[in-house]
Amino acid sequence: MATNPPPPSERASEIIQKLPSSPNLITKTGTALLGVGAAATAISQELYVVNEETIVLIASIMVFTYIGKVIQEPYSQWAEGHIQRIKKVLNDARAEHTGAVQERIDSVGQMKDVVSVTENLFALSKETAKLEAENFVQLQKVTLASELKSVLDSWVRYEQHVKESEQADLTKTVIEKVVAALKDEKTQKDILTSAITEVEQLVKSKAI
């Protein structure tokens, strides 16, 4: 025997009674409940006839809405973390760029006196080169004077040696001539006669 379907108002009341009553769940599915309430009102006023497809549609909407609410917070956290990572990368890159620019500025600031320092160093190097050149000239003069003195000393020693040799030869020659003359009889007689004459003169003068 066929059963008569319940009136629309009774169906709407049954659907409302079957909705979840937990506060947290109501908060998460508020939008779905609002839609269900509107649908229940339409059913109670016989503006819409509920069938199985409608129930499946409503249940699907509620499930998808709940799933969307559930995954919204993890997705928001993941998105926030991803955004923070991107911000950190950008901030690190900006800080690195700022540091590089500041380092470049500092290096340029340190090099602002390079021209004056270079000029001073160039002047100092010129003065040093001049002093080294003068020192080299003086050293060459001293070396040349030392060599000249050595040569002159050598010549003096050579001339002294030559003179000594000549004097020795002259002395030897004189001695040889004297010895040769003493060996001559006539010379010996002349010397003896001269000696006797000198002795006689001394006797006459009573010197001896």
**Per-residue pLDDT tens over the stretch 130-181:** 999 999 999 999 999 989 998 998 999 999 999 988 888 888 888 888 887 7
Please state the domain extents for the chain.
Answer: 38-168
Distance of alpha carbon 161 from alpha carbon 95, whole angstroms:
93
- Give one DSSP letter per residue of 84-128, joined into a string: HHHHHHHHHHHHHHHHHHHHHHHHHHHGGGHHHHHHHHHHHHHHH
- Note the pLDDT of residue 22: 45
Could you tell me the two tokens for 128?
Answer: 């040093």
pLDDT at 115 over 50: yes
- Note the pLDDT of residue 136: 92
pLDDT at 128 over 80: yes
Could you tell me the two tokens for 74?
Answer: 């993890």
Q: How confident is the model at residue 23 (pLDDT cuts 50, 70, 90)?
A: very low
pLDDT at 183 over 80: no
**Percent of the chain residues topping a pLDDT of 70:** 67
pLDDT at 47 over 70: no
- Note the pLDDT of residue 98: 86
Q: Greater confidence, 9 or 61?
A: 61
Tens of pLDDT, residues 4-17: 656 655 655 555 55
- Note the pLDDT of residue 64: 77
Average pLDDT of the chain is 75
Q: What is the mean pLDDT of residues 68-96?
A: 81
Among left, alpha and beta (phi > 0; psi -120 to 50; other), residue 165 is alpha
Question: How many residues does this entry show for the chain?
Answer: 208
* Phi/psi of residue 50, nearest 5 degrees: -80, 135
Q: How confident is the model at residue 49 (pLDDT cuts 50, 70, 90)?
A: low
Distance of alpha carbon 82 from alpha carbon 85, whole angstroms:
5
Q: Greater confidence, 111 or 20?
A: 111
Q: What is the mean pLDDT of residues 107-116?
A: 69
Distance of alpha carbon 115 from alpha carbon 197, whole angstroms:
109
